[in-house]
Structure formats: structure tokens, C-alpha cells
């Protein structure tokens, strides 16, 4: 199990390219946005489940 931890790390090359940074930032913000939207939907369903 612990042996596999290192494999979790993506090994993309380290780049200082501003365009690459922008892509990374945009991709992260998209994932964060989706995560927050999923959280809101989950809280809604939790409220429904707790009322039933």
C-alpha cells in the first residue's frame, strides 16, 4: 500500500512557461468549481434525506 504512494504523484516536467501556468490555474479552478457545485448539491440532498 505505502509502496504505491510514490506512483500517485504525477511526474509532469517542471516548466516556467506562463502559458503552462495559465493552463494549470484554469484546470485547477475548473476542478474547484465542480467540487463546490457538487458540495452544494450534496448539502441539498442531505437536507432532503434528513427531513425524510
Partner 1 sequence: MTTMTPPTPSSGTATAAGANAASVRRPAAWRDLFALTKPRVMSLVIFTGLCGLIAAPERIHPVLAFTAILCIAVGAGGAAALNQWWEADIDAGMKRTAKRPLPQGRLDRTTARDFALVLCSGSVFLMGFAIGWLPAAILAISIVYYAVIYTIWLKPRTPQNIVIGGGAGAFPPLIGWVAATGHITAMPLVLFAIIFFWTPPHFWALALFVKSDYAKVGIPMMPVVAGEKSTRRQIMAYAVLLLPLSVAPWLIGGTGLLYGASALVLSLVFLALSIRVGVRTRGEEDRMKPEKQLFAYSVLYLFALFAALVLDRFIVIGT
Q: Using CB under 8 A as the criterion, which residues of the chain lie in contact with partner 1 when the complex forms?
A: 1-12, 14, 16, 21, 24-25, 27-28, 31-32, 42, 45-46, 48-50, 52
Q: Could you tell me the smallest distance in angstroms from the CB atom of residue 18 to partner 1? A: 10
Q: Could you tell me the smallest distance in angstroms from the CB atom of residue 46 to partner 1? A: 5
Of 2 and 37, the one with the shorter C-beta distance to partner 1 is 2
Retrieve residue 33's grid coordinates.
468549481
Tell me the C-alpha to C-alpha distance, in Å, between residue 14 and each of 10, 17, 24: 11, 9, 12
Q: For residue 9, how many C-alpha atoms fall within 13 Å in the half-sphere facing its CB?
A: 6
Amino acid at each position: 500500500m505505502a509502496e504505491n504512494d510514490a506512483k500517485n504523484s504525477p511526474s509532469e516536467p517542471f516548466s516556467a512557461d506562463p502559458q503552462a501556468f495559465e493552463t494549470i490555474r484554469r484546470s485547477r479552478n475548473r476542478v474547484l468549481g465542480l467540487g463546490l457545485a457538487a458540495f452544494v448539491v450534496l448539502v441539498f440532498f442531505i437536507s432532503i434525506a434528513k427531513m425524510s
